[in-house]
Structure 1
């Protein structure tokens, strides 16, 4: 079984899922990419540093984050 860990190089994450970024970030170099991992977790990386460290989130953590984003809980972080 593949083991994923926070901080592992994102380019070493093997999974049947593809890295995906928001359409709004296409072409502007401000891309956070997500990838569904084979064990149900979600990998997150900065597309400017594809070999940099990945953040690995459980499905529950990912859901909670997305709900917070949709509810505007992080809007104060935008400049």
Structure 2
């Protein structure tokens, strides 16, 4: 059975996670980072706080979020 991760897990407990951030990230590291997990899920953390917490999403959840972001559904939060 695949390992299951809980949301809010300390990011440093995700051993083997290879974190990456977008090339659009600012010079001060103020960006989110993502890492695919062996379970098939995707972890996300704040790059300013690399030890956690990390939020863990299914591939379907991440795909839905990315599709919405690309479609402009969240543009209003930047106000």
**Taking structure 2 as the reference length, what is the TM-score of the superposition?**
0.88
Residue range with higher mean Cα deviation, 36-45 or 3-12: 3-12
- Structure 1 vs Structure 2 CA RMSD: 1.4
Indicate the residue corresponding to 1:10 in structure 2: 11
Q: Which portions of structure 1, spanning 4 or more consecutive aligned residues, are displaced by more than 2 angstroms? A: none
Q: How far apart, CA to CA, are the structure 1 residues paired with 2:5 and 2:26?
A: 27
Partner of 1:55: 55
Matched positions, count: 78
Deviation sequence 1:40-68 (CA, Å, 0-9, x none): 10000001111121100000000000000
TM-score by length of 1: 0.88
Determine the structure 1 residue equivalent to 2:44.
Answer: 44
SS in 2 for 1:60: helix
Q: Unpaired segments of 5 or more residues in structure 1? A: none
Q: SS at the partner of 1:18? A: coil
For 2:28 and 2:68, how far apart are their aligned partners in 1? Answer: 24
